Structures are given as structure tokens and as C-alpha cells.
């Protein structure tokens, strides 16, 4: 029986190949985005894991203290701990090279005399040795390079490589080349090794180490040794397994992965609408066929199975198409994600090419099939429950829809209300899955409400279309009013896409507004000198000498040295921004929110209190008057919060303290930014040029005027939102495919109606006009309904998504301008998408069309 | 003849530089030890002939790569203390880039030696980690195991012959086999000890597969204050075709060196005891 039914289905779909293709495309798009993102993400995670594994070597534990390092005496304490088999010091530095067209180089400062017990090095010149170990140890500017890097630059043993150090640009002598195995395979070879004690001097680390890598002795578990070390070492030190370091990197790309996964699910959701639409129409066309089948004794379950089997085949076809496209796009997605990960780590990630993972293929296939079956579920049920007598009746009688009940409207509105309450008031700790479920409720509510919305919005538009479009306009709108469910799928697909576009746009707009407020209030010095083209460099710093040299320029009024670093805080991390507070308050006192201004002025420069950023305050529920407790290398700091400031440099939250206090407790006088205030009348551009001349060839210093600095921050925000822009592009493509799909199918479905119109004397051009005006109406309704959906979704993004990902919410901004600007664009796209259906409608032959069912 | 070790394990190893510039240089008279009764006694005679309190030695390495290109390093060795508790300081003088670099080794009875390196460019003393025994010592053909003088009791000895002539010296050929394989990169070693002087004048080292890894050839035997030694030692790494020549140009024994100068603190304070260059 099912075989015979399948033959009937096949014939139908072969007759409607274009519809089949467009419907499958709807599924393929969602599956493709999901598969590309997941494959690229798997490759990126594999790359991160490989990097961490190779860098850690045989280390089972790592001791660290955020980015600030710790005194080298800690090494003796670690080595003296029972159960430690090997413990080796590490300084990890990402430096900018002086070579043309070369990015950063990760330098691992290790004690090569002992480190080979932990890490794999394989040198080229002899089996396992540095060319001249004594010279390597004796000359601090000695370096061992990966062969890959050396070959890229034609560098050999004995040659010199320029690198930027704490003492400016220096030439390092290559003392050995290691093979592309072990650590030599990390970061595509952008890795070098030098002596750890030389690295202390060259990179201004004093007598500190960044990390100690260690291995447990046989007979003691890693966990037991970890616990033992935690009790023996000072509180400010972290003892972690190396994979936790990989976890931190993974977390850094989580937001990006999540964003793209949301995009893929949005695309899949649109796919569900397309399938729904396609099957609703197919069933409408095959009504009589279904009636005959039922009349000859085919059971309801078989009818249901026939349509679900069709959906299954379509889901499989669409999914396979999506998987193929997704895999091809994975390389590009991997490149984008890797570049974002590289901006987190500082050097390019270790190359791991995307490859097909059977579990991802199966998941993608399952998602595509599930979307297809979901979309076809209700139409298939409707077909199965068809009354054979009605089915064999005339077409007009069967197309009459049931009235749009208040019950449906109430259910839809209730779900939207419930979702809004949950999004607005549920705490972030309920988890991302629950939060997404809340957003899902809203979409469900809107879907249920969709025919009602379409009906009423179409009614509102009727006079306008009647007036502007004449009888064709009225006919186009009437089609929607009389049969809102038919248009609901098209509008629904459009709504989902536009809702996503609007809410993402609103989020970006809101974030930009916050950044502008921050930069105008806090970053209001005249000139800025930075160490990196990224927000900061974790390893390259200025010395205070640079600030002194700049302060000596006659046009300079005041200079503030800024240190920006991450420290361990309450089992997590927080940023510390150490700045000369007298100078900061002189220019940015208005930026301090809450607290007593006089108290701030009095206590902050003395190091008797701190300011915290808004996200720090939200993250740790710490307001003005609360205390921060920090285990610093030189002792415990317990200070009151004197005020809150807006600062978005770290998603972990920032603690602002006086630089003197920081230097006292961290023994660190490195400088990441120099903020410069000029005397009245001085030209920022001229002083910028002088500073550039001052630093040329010595420091890797980027000098910005205030406008340039804010532009630079804006550029970084753009980079941050690069992914969102990509999501917007996908959403727009989804919208276009959705519109084209539904309009084409709709035109085919109304072939008989157009035939009747033609028989009544309607011109071909009038038929085309009806189709085009209907597309126009759908686009207007789609924009309106999309805006309504965005109204709720913006709340979800600005509150829930932002709090979960960034630790703070962003102000609710409704993107009126974007919605208005999108209207002509969406209309144009709809009209273009409707062009083919309009042409097909024009070509309808009257006799054939009236007989068409 | 297959001998097993008998003596107590407290006999400490003499450290790297004692080996390079000392052990190969200073040897007691075989006749003084009463003549060879077995292979172990022959080796014991080699190890125990040095009775000096301190020594000041000028020496140099010439390291040849597989293509025959060579680099040279000159240094002085100051050594103080009795076997097993010796302190040895090597100060490099040439070439310029390693001038002033000093390596201090402190032997301890029953434990591995501690080593400290002073680097003038960063003006600090650092502990040098215990090396893997297969690693080359400072780029020479000596491995770290080679320069750590072996404890007599860690090997079993077998006399393989007593008729071979090397450089005009009649020799004893002795096979030394590590008692604990985990303690050595070598499966066994062959020594040729001169019968007219308690000095190893030729040696071959073999790996797990029985393949020859290194050869050592000592020439220019000298006797100073009754202690035998060699002035020229050439080590050849068979597989890689590289070799190193250790040349000793001057030896002074019992010059009254101050023990206080052989500490890491003294190194950091003054870059080590000043030695004649």
C-alpha cells in the first residue's frame, strides 16, 4: 500500500520540481549553516585542544597567577612539594616581529636544560640538541625557531630576527631550529623558544615567572597533588590542569559559536514555515486525489504516512544538500572563527582542517528531517482527517476556512505574555537552554497568532491598497483576508528572518550607544599610546620611561600610565585597570556613577578604595560600599568599592585602582596605555607626530588622537560584531528564499483563481499586478509582524543573551530607523521574488487553469 | 672473567668537569695500587689514583660538525675537594659571546651533582636542571652520562683481553656492563686501559641494539706529581659523524684554592674565582 502511495507522491513532486527544489532549499539553508558552524567549531576546538596539549607537553598541572606572574621563589616551593616529579618555569610572551607581513610570534621562555622532560622539542641540526647550548644560554637575545617560521623568512641558524621587547626592537640570534613536531607544530610554526631567565630580562618580568608546568610523580593522582599544592602555595596562585587553559579559550569562542548556532536554528525555523506552506498548498492541490484515495478505502494513517514520508524524503534531500554546502562553507567559517580566536590568543591558531564528522552529519540530518516533519505534521494530519465527501466537492467549497477563533488569539497572546515575563524576570542562572525555551514560547505564540495578525493587518491595509492599487490591490488584499492561513506561512518565514535582523540590529545599536557613552566619558584624554592594534597586548608592554619621555614634551600637560591585566578573582578572573587616579579624576570624574564624589577624590588616589565596572558590579552583585577581596602577590587587598564606572574592556568586569597601589601589591610597573592630556592650544596631530618620532624603531607604539582612538574602539566593536553582520546576511538570504518560495507556490496554487479572472475578462497584466501587489502586501505585513516579534525578541537579546554572554544587560533600543529603512528593501526583494510567479500567472491558459486542481 | 660488584655503594660519582678535565687527566699509578688482580681492580685503580686536593687546568674544546666545520671554546677548570665531594668550576674565556660564563658543579656523596650556571649578560646564577643522560653536554660529543664519572659499583666488569696495542701501549680490554639498565643509555662499554699507566686510553660505548654509539681516544699521557693523565681526548659520535677534541694545555695541582669561592653566592657576587687566563 505504502509503495503505491509513494508512487503517487513521486509523480506529484516530479510535476512540481521547482517547488520541490525551493522547499528543499529552505531546509538546506538551515542545515547548511548549522553544519558549517558545527564543523568549523569542531575543527577550531580540535585546534585549541591540540595547541594546549602540545604546549603543555607532559605537564599534568600548571601554577599561574593570572597575567601578572609570581616571584620565582614559588618554583622552589613547588619543587619541594612531595609528589612533584618535575616542575619547570615558563614565561609565555606573544611578541610582534619586525619582519614584514608577519604577525605575532609566541615565545615560550623555558629552562631548556630541564624542560625537555616536559615538552617535546626536536631540533634539526642534531638528534636533540641546540646548535651551541652555551652561547644560547649566555646570550639573552638568543632564540630557537620553528623550522616552518624560519623557512617562511629564509632564516637560518646564526641569522638574526627582529622582535619587539620591553626594551624596544631587538635582534635575536637564531641558535636552533626545531622540527614541525611537538611544540613546533603549534600556531602554524609561529612559535619560538628562549631561555626563561633571559626572557625575564628581555621582556621586563623582573624575577617573576608566568607559570610553572609540572608533572605528578607516580603514585599520586593529579587531583591529590592539585589539592596539596593549593594548600601549600599562596592564595593568589592558581593550580589547574592544562585542559582548563583550553577551556578558557573555548569560552572565548563560545559567544561566536552560539551566535551562529542561533542563526542556523532561525534558518531551520524558517525552513519549518516553508515546509508547512509547501505541504499546505500541496494538500490543497491534491484534495480530490486524497478524497478518492479515502473513498477507495485507503486508511487515514496511510494518508498521514504518505505525506510524512514525502516530508522525510524532502528533509533528507534538503539536509544532504545543506550538509554538502555546509561542508564547503566550513573552511570559510573556520577561517573567520580562527581569526577571532587568534585575536583572543594573539597568534594564529594551529591549523586543523575541517573534516566530515559522522556524528555531525547525523545530527544535521536529524535536524533537517525533524524540521521537515514538524513543518509537514499539521498539513498531513489535516489531509488524513479529510472528509472524502467534502474532498470530492467543488474546489471553492473546500477552500473556505474556518473562522479565526478568539481561543487561538488568546492562546497566542498568552504565550507571548508568558514568554515576556519569563525573559524579563527569570534570573540568568536558570541557564541558556531555559532562556532559549522562553524565547521559543514567544515564537510559538506568534506562530499561533500569525493568521489573526495577518487577517487584521491585511484588513488595515485594504483601503490603502484599494486606493493605490485599484481593483487589483483590493483583490490582492482580499486573498489574504479570506485565507490568512495561506499567507501566514509566508509572513511567518518573513517574520522570523526580519525579527532576527531587527533584534540583532537593535542589539548592535544599543551596544554602540553604550560604547560611545563610555568612550566620551572615560576615554577623553587628547592622545593615547597603545601597545597593540588589538585592545591590548598580553605580553608586550611599555616601561614607565616612555611616559616620562612623553611628559617631557613641552605641549604635554599630564601623562597617565595605564596597566590593564587579568587577575584571579573568586575562582574566576577579573580585569585590573591601574591608573594614576589624580590624573584620571581630573579629566573623568563625571564618569564615576554612585558613591560620594568627595570620598572618591579623597580615597581613590591614596589606594584606599577602588572603582568597579558596571559588569563587575552585576557579575559579583557588588555595589558601592561593598568590598573587593584580592589575593595579590604581595599580600591581601580588602578595599571598599567607592563608585561604579562604565567600562567594556573586559567581559569579566574591571577593577580600577590607583597605579601606586597596584605596583605595591603586584611588583609590576609595566604600562599598556599612555593617556596624554595636552596643554591648551597644543595641536594633537603635531604632538602625535612627535611621539611617533620618539618611539620609531624602538617601541611598537600606536599613537592615536582622541578621535582616532574612539574610531579605533569603534573598529574593534565592528570586528566584534562581524559575526552578527554575517548572521544578518544569512537572515536576509533566508528571507529572500522564503519569499520566493512561498510566492511561487502561492501563484501555482491560485492558478485556477487566475484562470477564472482571465475568463471574466482580466488582462494578463492585471493578473501579474495582483501577484505583485500581493507580494507587496505580504512584505508590508511581514515587516509589521517582524517588528512586533522584534519588540519581544530585543528584550530577550538585550537582557538575557547579553547578561549570559557579557555579564551585563544593554539598554532596550527599538530600531525604528532600521525598520523604516528595511521596508523599501524588503518590498523590493519581495517584488523581485514575485517576478517569476507573476510571469507564470500571466501565462495561465484559461481552459487549462479552470480545470486545474 | 666475570666480576660482580662488591664494594659499598657509597663511592660517589665524580662530576662532569672532573671527568672531562680531571678524570681523563689524573690517574694513579697502576703499580702503586699493587697490580691488576682482576678487571674490577684495574678500573678501581684508574678511578682512585687521583690524590690531589685541588687543581687548576686550562683547556679547550674543538667541536667538529659532520661537515668538518669546527668551533672552539676555551676555559679554565678549578677543582677542589676529595673524590665524591668535589667542587669544580669552569669559567669560559673564549669566544667572546661566552666569555665569563661559569659552571659550578658540586658533588655530594650518594647523590647526583648540583650544577649552577652564571651568565654575565643577565648577571645571575641559575641552577642547571639534571639532564637526560643521553643529551649532549653543551654541544660537545660528550653526553651528560659520559661526563658524570661512573661509580665503580654500578657496573660489572669482565676482562676481554690483555694483548692489544694502542698508540704503543699494551692494554687491558675490559667490558663494563651497567648493573641497572635504567641507569645508563649504554648496554655495555669497552675500555682499553694502558698497562703502563692507570688511564683509559680508548673506549667504545654501545647502545641497546649493540651498535657502537661513541668512541673515545685519549693520547698524550703525562705524569704530574705522581698522578697520570691525558692531554688530548677525542670523542667521536658514530651515527652523526661529529667529534669533539678536549685539549688540556696546562695543569697545576695543589695550588691552595679557597673553598669559599666555590659557591653559587660567590659566583653571583664576583662572577666566580678569578683564574688565570
pLDDT at A347 over 70: no
More confidently predicted of A741 and A851: A741
Query: Across A151-237, where does the E strand assignment appear?
Result: 160-165, 168-178, 191-195, 208-209, 211-216
Question: Are A605 and A581 within 8 A, CB to CB?
Answer: yes
pLDDT of residue A58: 81
Is A117 at the interface with chain B, CB within 8 A?
yes
SS3 A564: strand
Least confidently predicted of A192-201, A768-777, A844-853: A844-853
Q: Would you list the DSSP string of A301-325?
A: HHHHHHHHHHHHHHHHHHHHHHHHH
Tell me the C-alpha distance between A825 and A779, whole Å: 10
Ramachandran angles phi, psi of A743, nearest 5°: -70, -40
Confidence of residue A851 (pLDDT cuts 50, 70, 90): low
**Residues A31-51: what's their mean pLDDT?**
82
**Residues A512-531: what's their mean pLDDT?**
87
Question: Are A22 and A745 within 8 A, CB to CB?
Answer: yes
A69 burial (CB, 10 Å; 0-12 / 13-18 / 19+) is: buried
**A631 - beta bridge partners?**
A636
C-alpha cell read off for A457: 493587518
Q: How far is B203 from chain A (nearest CA, A)?
A: 22
Q: Which of A200-209, A508-517, A590-599, B247-256 has the highest mean pLDDT?
A: B247-256
**Residues A410-431: what's their mean pLDDT?**
80
| Closest C-alpha to A26, from A785, A741, A840 | A741
Is B112 at the interface with chain A, CB within 8 A?
no
pLDDT at A238 over 90: no
pLDDT at A172 over 80: yes
**Cα dihedral A467/A470/A473/A479 (nearest 10):** 110
Least confidently predicted of B124-138, B185-199, B206-220: B124-138
Confidence of residue A381 (pLDDT cuts 50, 70, 90): confident
Is B124 at the interface with chain A, CB within 8 A?
yes
Query: What is the DSSP code (8-state) at residue A641?
Result: E
Question: Are B146 and B213 within 8 A, CB to CB?
Answer: no
pLDDT of residue B158: 94
Dihedral sign from CA coordinates of A693, A695, A701, A704: negative
pLDDT at B32 over 50: no
Cβ distance of A88 and B120 shorter than 8 Å: no
Chain B contacts of A113, Cβ < 8 Å? 128-129, 131
Residues in chain A: 853
More confidently predicted of A719 and A197: A197
**Average pLDDT over chain B, rounded to an integer:** 80
Which residue has cell 688540556?
Answer: B248
Least confidently predicted of A248-262, A425-439, A570-584, B95-109: A248-262
Tell me the C-alpha distance between A315 and A272, whole Å: 10
Chain B residues 3-62 with CB within 8 Å of chain A: none
pLDDT at A131 over 90: no
Nearest neighbour of B121 by CB, restricted to A115, A130, A140: A140
**Residues B197-218: what's their mean pLDDT?**
95
Instruction: Give the CA distances from residue A703 to residues A344, A682, A711, B64, in Å, rounded to whole numbers and listed in that order.
Output: 22, 16, 13, 51
**Each residue of A57-79: pLDDT tens digit?**
788 999 988 777 888 889 989 99
Is A134 at the interface with chain B, CB within 8 A?
yes
**Residues A515-540: what's their mean pLDDT?**
81
pLDDT at A17 over 90: no
Chain B residues 78-107 with CB within 8 Å of chain A: 92, 97-98, 101
Give start and end residues of each alpha helix (H) in A696-815.
706-720, 722-749, 751-759, 764-795, 802-806
Dihedral sign from CA coordinates of A541, A543, A547, A550: negative
C-alpha cell read off for A806: 557579557
Ramachandran angles phi, psi of A172, nearest 5°: -105, 135
Tell me the C-alpha distance between A206 and A789, whole Å: 57
Selected for mutation to probe chain B from A134, A136, A197, A205 (highest B CB count within 10 Å) is A134
Nearest neighbour of A137 by CB, restricted to B73, B117, B136: B117
pLDDT of residue A421: 84
| Residue A395, C-beta contacts closer than 8 angstroms, at least 6 positions apart | A287, A752, A853
pLDDT of residue A666: 87
pLDDT of residue A102: 63
SS3 content of chain A, % helix, strand, coil (to 5): 60, 15, 20
Is A116 at the interface with chain B, CB within 8 A?
yes
Ramachandran angles phi, psi of B82, nearest 5°: -85, 160
pLDDT at A122 over 70: no
Least confidently predicted of A136-145, A198-207, A335-344: A335-344
**Residues A606-613: what's their mean pLDDT?**
94
pLDDT of residue A849: 59
pLDDT of residue A723: 67
pLDDT of residue B197: 92
pLDDT of residue B248: 95
pLDDT at A100 over 70: no
| Residue A645, C-beta contacts closer than 8 angstroms, at least 6 positions apart | A522, A591, A592, A593, A611, A612, A613, A614, A656
**Residues A716-738: what's their mean pLDDT?**
72
pLDDT at B74 over 90: yes
| Closest C-alpha to A255, from A841, A801, A848, A719 | A801
Ramachandran angles phi, psi of B122, nearest 5°: -110, 5
Cβ of B17: how many Cβ atoms within 10 Å? 28
Nearest neighbour of A132 by CB, restricted to B71, B121, B128: B71
Is A138 at the interface with chain B, CB within 8 A?
yes
Which residue has cell 509537514?
Answer: A376
Nearest neighbour of A140 by CB, restricted to B92, B98, B122: B122
SS3 B266: helix
Is A131 at the interface with chain B, CB within 8 A?
yes
**Each residue of B6-23: pLDDT tens digit?**
333 333 233 333 344 333
Cβ distance of A134 and B120 shorter than 8 Å: no
Q: Which of A6-10, A361-365, A418-422, B35-39 has the highest mean pLDDT?
A: A361-365
**Residues A207-223: what's their mean pLDDT?**
90
pLDDT of residue A46: 79
pLDDT at A218 over 80: yes
pLDDT of residue B234: 96
Q: How far is A64 from chain B (nearest CA, A)?
A: 21
pLDDT of residue A663: 93
pTM of the model: 0.67
Chain B contacts of A130, Cβ < 8 Å? 139
Domains of chain B, CATH where assigned: 2-269 (2.50.20.10)
pLDDT of residue A119: 65
Rg over alpha carbons for chain A, rounded to the nearest Å, is 33
pLDDT of residue B156: 93
| Closest C-alpha to B70, from B166, B140, B173, B135 | B140
In this prediction, what percent of chain A has a pLDDT beyond 70? 86
Tell me the C-alpha distance between A91 and A205, whole Å: 9
Selected for mutation to probe chain B from A86, A111, A113 (highest B CB count within 10 Å) is A113
pLDDT of residue A853: 47
Question: In chain B, which residue's Cα lies nearest the Cα of A112?
Answer: B129
| Closest C-alpha to A673, from A532, A520, A526, A518 | A532
Tell me the C-alpha distance between A67 and A538, whole Å: 7
**Each residue of A319-339: pLDDT tens digit?**
999 999 988 888 877 777 777
Least confidently predicted of A36-45, A88-97, A778-787, B106-115: B106-115
In this prediction, what percent of chain A has a pLDDT beyond 90? 19
Rg over alpha carbons for chain B, rounded to the nearest Å, is 18
Give start and end residues of each alpha helix (H) in chain B.
16-17, 39-48, 144-147, 264-270
Tell me the C-alpha distance between A127 and B207, whole Å: 15
Q: How far is B256 from chain A (nearest CA, A)?
A: 29
Confidence of residue A579 (pLDDT cuts 50, 70, 90): very high
pLDDT of residue A578: 95
User: Considering all CA atoms of chain B, what is the largest pairwise distance in Å, rounded to the nearest integer?
Assistant: 54
Q: Which residues of A497-508 are buried (b: 16+ CB within 10 A; e: fewer)?
A: bbbbbbbbbbbb
pLDDT at A6 over 60: yes
Cβ distance of B129 and A111 shorter than 8 Å: yes
Which residue has cell 623568512?
Answer: A153
Chain A contacts of B71, Cβ < 8 Å? 132
**Residues B267-276: what's their mean pLDDT?**
56
Confidence of residue B142 (pLDDT cuts 50, 70, 90): confident
More confidently predicted of B23 and A478: A478
pLDDT of residue A549: 92
Q: Would you list the DSSP string of A650-697?
A: -TT-EEEEEHHHHHHHH----BSEEEEEEPTT--HHHHHHHHHHHHTT
Q: Would you list the DSSP string of B110-150?
A: TEEEEEEEEETTTTEEEEEPPPPTTSBSTTSS-BHHHHSPP
**Residues A201-226: what's their mean pLDDT?**
89
More confidently predicted of A131 and B262: B262
Dihedral sign from CA coordinates of A454, A455, A461, A465: positive
Instruction: Give the CA distances from residue B184 to residues A126, A254, A685, in Å, rounded to whole numbers and listed in that order.
Output: 21, 50, 68
CA atoms within 13 A on the CB side of A509: 15
Respond yes or no on whether ipTM tops 0.85: no
pLDDT of residue A476: 81
Amino acid at each position: 500500500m505504502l509503495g503505491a502511495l509513494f508512487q503517487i507522491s513521486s509523480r506529484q513532486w516530479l510535476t512540481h520540481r521547482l517547488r520541490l527544489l525551493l522547499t528543499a532549499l529552505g531546509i538546506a539553508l538551515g542545515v547548511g549553516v548549522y553544519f558549517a558552524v558545527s564543523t568549523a567549531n569542531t575543527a577550531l576546538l580540535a585546534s585549541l585542544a591540540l595547541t594546549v596539549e602540545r604546549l603543555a607537553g607532559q605537564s599534568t598541572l600548571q601554577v599561574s597567577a593570572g597575567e601578572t606572574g609570581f616571584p620565582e621563589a614559588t618554583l622552589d616551593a613547588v619543587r619541594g612539594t612531595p609528589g612533584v616529579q618535575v616542575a619547570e618555569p615558563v614565561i609565555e610572551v606573544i611578541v610582534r616581529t619586525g619582519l614584514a607581513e608577519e604577525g605575532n610570534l609566541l615565545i615560550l621562555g623555558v629552562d631548556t636544560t630541564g624542560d625537555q622532560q616536559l615538552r617535546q622539542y626536536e631540533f634539526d641540526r642534531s638528534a636533540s640538541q641546540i646548535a651551541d647550548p652555551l652561547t644560547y644560554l649566555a646570550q639573552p637575545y638568543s632564540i630557537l625557531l620553528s623550522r616552518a617560521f624560519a623557512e617562511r623568512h629564509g632564516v637560518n641558524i646564526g641569522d638574526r630576527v627582529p622582535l619587539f621587547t620591553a626594551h624596544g626592537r631587538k635582534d635575536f640570534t637564531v641558535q636552533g631550529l626545531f622540527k614541525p613536531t611537538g611544540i613546533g607544530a603549534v600556531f602554524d610554526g609561529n612559535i619560538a623558544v628562549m631561555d626563561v631567565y633571559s626572557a625575564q630580562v628581555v621582556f621586563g618580568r623582573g624575577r617573576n615567572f608566568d607559570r610553572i608546568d609540572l608533572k605528578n610523580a607516580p603514585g599520586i593522582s593529579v587531583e591529590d597533588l592539585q589539592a596539596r599544592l593549593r594548600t601549600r602555595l599562596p592564595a593568589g596562585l592558581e593550580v589547574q590542569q592544562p585542559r582548563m587553559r583550553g577551556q578558557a579559550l573555548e569560552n572565548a569562542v563560545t559567544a561566536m559559536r552560539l551566535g551562529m548556532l542561533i542563526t542556523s536554528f532561525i534558518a531551520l525555523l524558517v525552513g519549518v514555515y516553508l515546509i508547512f506552506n509547501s505541504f499546505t498548498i500541496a494538500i490543497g492541490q491534491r484534495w480530490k486525489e486524497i478524497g478518492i484515495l479515502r473513498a477507495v478505502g485507503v486508511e487515514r494513517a496511510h494518508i498521514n504516512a504518505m505525506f510524512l514520508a514525502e516530508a522525510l524524503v524532502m528533509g533528507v534531500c534538503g539536509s544532504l544538500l545543506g550538509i554538502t554546502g555546509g561542508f564547503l562553507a566550513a573552511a570559510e567559517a573556520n577561517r573567520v572563527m580562527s581569526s577571532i580566536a587568534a585575536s583572543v590568543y594573539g597568534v594564529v591558531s594551529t591549523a586543523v582542517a575541517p573534516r566530515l564528522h559522522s556524528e555531525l552529519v547525523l545530527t544535521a540530518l536529524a535536524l533537517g528531517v525533524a524540521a521537515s516533519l514538524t513543518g509537514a505534521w499539521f498539513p498531513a494530519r489535516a489531509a488524513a482527517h479529510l472528509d472524502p465527501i467534502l474532498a470530492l466537492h467543488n474546489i471553492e467549497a473546500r477552500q473556505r476556512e474556518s473562522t479565526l477563533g478568539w481561543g487561538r488569539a488568546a492562546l497566542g497572546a498568552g504565550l507571548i505574555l508568558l514568554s515576556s515575563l519569563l525573559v524579563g524576570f527569570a534570573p540568568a542562572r536558570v541557564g541558556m537552554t531555559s532562556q532559549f525555551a522562553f524565547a521559543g514560547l514567544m515564537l510559538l505564540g506568534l506562530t499561533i497568532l500569525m493568521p489573526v495578525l495577518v487577517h487584521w493587518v491585511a484588513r488595515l491595509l485594504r483601503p490603502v491598497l484599494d486606493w493605490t492599487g485599484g481593483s487589483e490591490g483590493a483583490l490582492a488584499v482580499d486573498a489574504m483576508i479570506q485565507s490568512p492561513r495561506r499567507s501566514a506561512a509566508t509572513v511567518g518565514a518573513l517574520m522570523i528572518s526580519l525579527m532576527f535582523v531587527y533584534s540583532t540590529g537593535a542589539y548592535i545599536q544599543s551596544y554602540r550607544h553604550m560604547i560611545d557613552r563610555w568612550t566620551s566619558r572615560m576615554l577623553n584624554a587628547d592622545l593615547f599610546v597603545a601597545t597593540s592594534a588589538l585592545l591590548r597586548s598580553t605580553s608586550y608592554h611599555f616601561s614607565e620611561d616612555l611616559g616620562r619621555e612623553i611628559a617631557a614634551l613641552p605641549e604635554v600637560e599630564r601623562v597617565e600610565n595605564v596597566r590593564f591585566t587579568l587577575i584571579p578573582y573568586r575562582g574566576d578572573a577579573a580585569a585590573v585597570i591601574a591608573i594614576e587616579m589624580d590624573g584620571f579624576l581630573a579629566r573623568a570624574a563625571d564618569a564615576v556613577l554612585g558613591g560620594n564624589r568627595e570620598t572618591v577624590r579623597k580615597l581613590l588616589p591614596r589606594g584606599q578604595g577602588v572603582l568597579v565596572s558596571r559588569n563587575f558590579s552585576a557579575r559579583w552583585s557588588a555595589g558601592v560600599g561593598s568590598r573587593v577581596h584580592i589575593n595579590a602577590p604581595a599580600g591581601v587587598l580588602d578595599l571598599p568599592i567607592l563608585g561604579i564606572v562604565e567600562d567594556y574592556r573586559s567581559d569579566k568586569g574591571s577593577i580600577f585602582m590607583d597605579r601606586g597601589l597596584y605596583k605595591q601589591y603586584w611588583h609590576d610597573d609595566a604600562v599598556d596605555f599612555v593617556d596624554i592630556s595636552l596643554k591648551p592650544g597644543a595641536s594633537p596631530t603635531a604632538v602625535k607626530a612627535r611621539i611617533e618620532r620618539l618611539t620609531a624603531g624602538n617601541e611598537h607604539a600606536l599613537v592615536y588622537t582622541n578621535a582616532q582612538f574612539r574610531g579605533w574602539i569603534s573598529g574593534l566593536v565592528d570586528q566584534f560584531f562581524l559575526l552578527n553582520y554575517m548572521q544578518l546576511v544569512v537572515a536576509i538570504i533566508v528571507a529572500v528564499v522564503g519569499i520566493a518560495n512561498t510566492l511561487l507556490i502561492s501563484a501555482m496554487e491560485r492558478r485556477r483563481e487566475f484562470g477564472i479572472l482571465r475568463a471574466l475578462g482580466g488582462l494578463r497584466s492585471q493578473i501579474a499586478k495582483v501577484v505583485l501587489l500581493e507580494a507587496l502586501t505580504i512584505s508590508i505585513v511581514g515587516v509589521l509582524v517582524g517588528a512586533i516579534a522584534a519588540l519581544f525578541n530585543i528584550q530577550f537579546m538585550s537582557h538575557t543573551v547579553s547578561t549570559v554572554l557579557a555579564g551585563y544587560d544593554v539598554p532596550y533600543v527599538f530600531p525604528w530607523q532600521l525598520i523604516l529603512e528595511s521596508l523599501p528593501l524588503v518590498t523590493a526583494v519581495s517584488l523581485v521574488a514575485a517576478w517569476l510567479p507573476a510571469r507564470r500567472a500571466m501565462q495561465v491558459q484559461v481552459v487549462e487553469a479552470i480545470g486545474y486542481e | 672473567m666475570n666480576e660482580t660488584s662488591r664494594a659499598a655503594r657509597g663511592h660517589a660519582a665524580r662530576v662532569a668537569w672532573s671527568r672531562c678535565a680531571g678524570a681523563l687527566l689524573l690517574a694513579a699509578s697502576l703499580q702503586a695500587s699493587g697490580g691488576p688482580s682482576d678487571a674490577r681492580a684495574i678500573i678501581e685503580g684508574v678511578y682512585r689514583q687521583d690524590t690531589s686536593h685541588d687543581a687548576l687546568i686550562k683547556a679547550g674544546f674543538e667541536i667538529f660538525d659532520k661537515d668538518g666545520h669546527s668551533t672552539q671554546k676555551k676555559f679554565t677548570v678549578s677543582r677542589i675537594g676529595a673524590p665524591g665531594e668535589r667542587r669544580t668550576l669552569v669559567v669560559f674565556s673564549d669566544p667572546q659571546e661566552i666569555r665569563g660564563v661559569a659552571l659550578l658543579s658540586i658533588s655530594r656523596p650518594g647523590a647526583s651533582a648540583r650544577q649552577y650556571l652564571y651568565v654575565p649578560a643577565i648577571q645571575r646564577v641559575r641552577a642547571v636542571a639534571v639532564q637526560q643522560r643521553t643529551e649532549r653536554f653543551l654541544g660537545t660529543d660528550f653526553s651528560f652520562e659520559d661526563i658524570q664519572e661512573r661509580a665503580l659499583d654500578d657496573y660489572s666488569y669482565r676482562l676481554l683481553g690483555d694483548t692489544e696495542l694502542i698508540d704503543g701501549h699494551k692494554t687491558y680490554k675490559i667490558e663494563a656492563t651497567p648493573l641497572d639498565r635504567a641507569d645508563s643509555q649504554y648496554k655495555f662499554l669497552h675500555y682499553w686501559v694502558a698497562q703502563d699507566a692507570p688511564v683509559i686510553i680508548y673506549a667504545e660505548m654501545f647502545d641497546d641494539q649493540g651498535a657502537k654509539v661513541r668512541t673515545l681516544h685519549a693520547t698524550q699521557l703525562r705524569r704530574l706529581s705522581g698522578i697520570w693523565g691525558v692531554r688530548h681526548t677525542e670523542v667521536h659520535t658514530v651515527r652523526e659523524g661529529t667529534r669533539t677534541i678536549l685539549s688540556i694545555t696546562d695543569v697545576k695541582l695543589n695550588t691552595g684554592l679557597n673553598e669559599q669561592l666555590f659557591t653559587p653566592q660567590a659566583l653571583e657576587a664576583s662572577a666566580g674565582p678569578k683564574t688565570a687566563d
